[in-house]
Structure 1
């Protein structure tokens, strides 16, 4: 099969990861894949690093002359490549593919990995219901939005969660010992890990406050917090300011950027996702599960699809997060049940599952 993945995303965020991971899985399975990116961006560099056929396309421009030039380049690409499927992972430039579709006969798929629901205006409804052949969503909340608000036909809406590379992300016992020794975690200390770039949306401040209550108010002096992240929209200095504010200097480690993520996750005893919104794809959550760590989360995005209700707390609710973590620290049976639930979820979310569900969609459209 010949497929174009349109991943015109500036940052290498969850949306870009989903599109590029899918492209790599398709390529490894023997399909011809071209990835269209924004030139000079993190996503373009990552696509090249992964060995993908990444070609810059100025799909995000609002300049009419540049847009016309982009349209001509797309026409040339379609003439030579003759793809059977074009899969757009962003809305910018999506209408161009709708214009080109009748002339080149490809099937058009729109993947919605963004947390923000699309505007339910007449043009958007027409594009999703009449022009594109399928809409892929990454969580059930977005599926409900397309069905009830966008009025997209039910047979066009596909829920396909992103998969996780279980060959790379697995429990690493030697890595656990090495990382725990590096950061001074003792054998009797319980390490809670929060993974993600430093950004308000990821809930670092709320997590620091919740864990500080475990340590200082509830006397859990053997609890440690590992912030597996780095400066982004929020700087590391600000994060360290919160650590000082809640008197957590002795109990918190900031890792910075790491190349040994599976080892760092294995070094933890409990994983937490405390995002205030987003998590429509939840790559970090799946990686924590794949490393065999119990996981608790705020109730945002795709997380209610991945975890049972008893493992969730309301986003931004520090009291509820503290109660849930305290229960987990005191109840080994709760952790065992959480691991069992995570294992069931993960059994259907490998990279192979991700690829097979997508191929089922593509092949059904092409036949």
Structure 2
């Protein structure tokens, strides 16, 4: 089977790195087209052995990209097109139809309660999404919560399939040596108590609240992994709170790591932390929370469908908290005083192993192309 993946961009981000992980585990011949931004994840995908084509799309209304993309689909003789992220779904489904390929699966990575990929859920956005959705075979939701949102948005429930995001679980097992090495590289004292967070530095992640909460606890440091438009603002808030020397912004982290972007890997950075906090109030899955749980960290989170869709026993190290600064301070003080040890690998982390997700996706591919899902293993 030959599959073309179409994605909006390949800078460092959750959907982008999720595609790279899937490609490492899907037993098909694949190609990738990125509409824009062939960033470090594109280089990582190519280093793994999958070719990446940059379409060079100039903007959302660059309709000239459609014939270019259709030509790639037609010339590649692909059996199926798989699209990722809003713009790629709209253009990819349409281009596949123009190229005569009617088997199109789209993964919805970023449909939140009030936004999609950071943009408000407007009537126009919804109308365009639904119009292009009809050109595809099925739409994949990364969690039951996203499946419900898609149905509420107007996608027919019988066209929705759930394939959760996944991680390479074994890579995240806690390693004391990695903790020492990472702290050394980052300049963190071995005895420091480190609160951690991972994600794009954007207003929607609400990291400024975490900065203020950590600043109120004198002997605590904050390590944020990610890059984005709010970097300067977060540093300003840290200075304003008198905690500039206790807030470390480590930059983006490509995971899995490649030679393109040297530095500590994400498992090593998680090993350097003592507690993980996710302050975002609107998530489609919450992959960073699952990664932190796989690393054995106690986790405080405001929203995480990946965990909320399971029973409490599946993630005993995770606790849902309020999103205000006083609530964050209270939760952090409590876990800081308790100092829980590293947790064993929870059922949630095993459930969301990327190999399981790839197997489920392969079944959808077989159903779409051959009419018969692949047998369960």
Pick the TM interval, shorter chain: 0.7 to 0.9
Unaligned runs of 5+ in 1: 216-220
Specify which structure has the higher proportion of helix. Answer: 1
- Name the SS for the 1:104 alignment partner: coil
Partner of 1:296 in structure 2? 300
Q: CA–CA distance in 2 between the matches of 1:165 and 1:180?
A: 23
TM norm structure 1: 0.80
How many equivalent residue pairs?
A: 343
Aligned partners of 1:96, 1:254: CA distance in 2, in Å?
36
* Pair 97,186 (structure 1): closer, same or farther in 2 beyond 3 Å: closer
Secondary structure, counterpart of 1:131 in structure 2: coil
Deviations 1:157-208 (A, max 9, x none): 1222211123433212111123335534244x43211223433333322112
Matches within 5 A, 1:1-367: 1-9=1-9, 11-26=11-26, 29=27, 31-38=28-35, 41-42=38-39, 43-58=41-56, 62-64=61-63, 66-67=64-65, 70-71=66-67, 73-92=68-87, 94=90, 97-98=93-94, 100-101=96-97, 104-115=100-111, 116-117=115-116, 124-128=129-133, 130-150=134-154, 152-181=155-184, 183-187=187-191, 189-215=192-218, 221=219, 223-230=220-227, 232-236=228-232, 238-256=233-251, 258-277=263-282, 279-299=283-303, 302=306, 304-305=308-309, 308=312, 311-315=319-323, 317-331=324-338, 335=340, 339=343, 343-366=346-369, 367=371
Q: Kindly tell me: are residues 235 and 75 of structure 1, through their superposed partners in 2, closer, same or farther at Cα, counting changes over 3 Å? A: closer
Please say if residues 225 and 250 of structure 2, whose CA atoms lie closer than 8 Å, have aligned partners that are also in contact: yes
TM-score by length of 2: 0.78
Cα distance between partner residues in 1 of 2:264 and 2:83: 30
In the alignment, the residues of structure 1 paired with residue 207 and residue 101 of structure 2 have an alpha-carbon distance, to the nearest angstrom, of: 47
CA contact (8 A) 1:298 1:312 kept: yes
Instruction: Check conservation: 2:169, 2:349, Cα contact below 8 A.
Output: no
Higher CA-based Rg: 1
d(CA) in 2 for partners of 1:262, 1:153? 39
Consecutive unaligned residues of structure 2, counting only runs of 5 or more, are 253-262, 372-377
My pick for the range that moved more, 248-257 or 195-204, is 248-257
- After superposing on structure 2, the runs of 4+ consecutive aligned residues of structure 1 that deviate more than 6 Å are none
Tell me if the contact between 1:139 and 1:302 (Cα under 8 Å) persists in the aligned partners: yes
